[in-house]
Amino acid sequence: MKVEVHADADAVARAAAAIIAVEARASVVARGRFVLAVSGGRTARLMLQALAAEDVPWKATHVVQVAERLAPPRDPERTVTDLRESLLIHTPLPPQHISAMPVECAAAARYAETLAEVAGTPPVIDLVHLGLGTEGDTAALLPGDPVLDITDADVALTGVRHGRQWMTLTYPLIDRARSRLWVVTGSDKTEMLARLRDRDRSIPAGRICQEHAYVVADRMAAGDPGPRY
């Protein structure tokens, strides 16, 4: 797992966007398309804004979701809103190339079928973007949730936590991806980032394959100055 440490969240977002753009161009050359799975969050929003300015083969790019809370279509907390506002307005990405999770009817199996249409059978995503929570969670893979033990489905529903239920990609699909990109910022992530780097399987993030993986973090999350880019 390659680790880069940058000065702040803005620099992290730009670095992550640059990595995605490189992967996108290589994927299109090799396979004629690029399938990107995107998580939510503030840093993800910054990353998408930076990505819009990168040299990406948008017409051959497909964007899918890593996780989404079960909520009505116009709920402002839905992360698909950031995808559409960041990419559809500022890039030539075709609107039909964003595949939103059907959380209105909690149809996990239907989304798995969508992924198969976009990324083959079984679906292989080119790059999965992941965040890291303060409990070592990632995607919507939360400590103690039964979804952690699912091995026979690529998309599943979590239990209810803090009044919310989520749809999420599962370990089999995330591990099957060609690359994984962790984007981590903030001093509250220092402990969990260290545990992720140590492959601590007692946290959900630590169970994800670290081959062909990048970590782009800010100095606060890294807990030390680290290399500067």
3-state SS track over 91-128: CCCCHHHEECCCCCCCCHHHHHHHHHHHHCCCCCCCEE
Give 229's pLDDT tier (boundaries 50, 70, 90).
very low
Q: pLDDT (tens digit, 9 = 90+) per residue, 205-225?
A: 999 999 999 999 999 999 875
What is the value of pTM for the model shown? 0.93
Which DSSP category does 85 fall into? Answer: I
Alpha-carbon gap, residue 80 to 78, rounded angstroms: 6
User: Within 13 Å, how many C-alpha atoms sit on residue 177's CB side?
Assistant: 31
Q: pLDDT tens for residues 43-55? A: 899 999 999 999 9
Identify the bridge partners of residue 18 per DSSP, sorted by sequence position.
Answer: none
pLDDT reported for residue 81: 85
Q: Taking residues 123-129, what's their average pLDDT?
A: 98
- Residue scoring higher pLDDT (77 or 113): 113
Domains plus CATH for the chain?
Answer: 2-183+193-222 (3.40.50.1360)
Q: State the Cα–Cα distance between residues 198 and 221, nearest whole angstrom.
A: 15
Question: What letter would DSSP give residue 87?
Answer: I
Q: 157-216, pLDDT tens digit by residue? A: 999 887 889 999 999 999 999 999 999 999 999 999 999 999 999 999 999 999 999 999
> How would you classify residue 91: left for phi > 0, otherwise alpha for psi between -120 and 50, otherwise beta?
beta
Residue 227 has pLDDT above 60, yes or no: no
Token pair 């640059």 in the structure block, residue: 18
Per-residue confidence (pLDDT) for residue 225, from 0 to 100: 54
Provide the sign of the torsion angle of the four alpha carbons 100, 104, 106, 107, taken in this order.
negative
Model pLDDT for residues 11-34, shown as the tens digit of each residue: 999 999 999 999 999 999 999 999
Which amino acid appears at position 133 of this protein?
G
DSSP 146: G
Question: Which residues 6+ apart lie within 8 Å of 107 measured at CB?
Answer: none
What mean pLDDT is predicted for residues 136-140?
A: 96
Cα 170 to Cα 167: distance, rounded to the nearest angstrom: 9
**Mean pLDDT value across residues 77-96:** 90
Rounded mean pLDDT of the chain?
Answer: 93
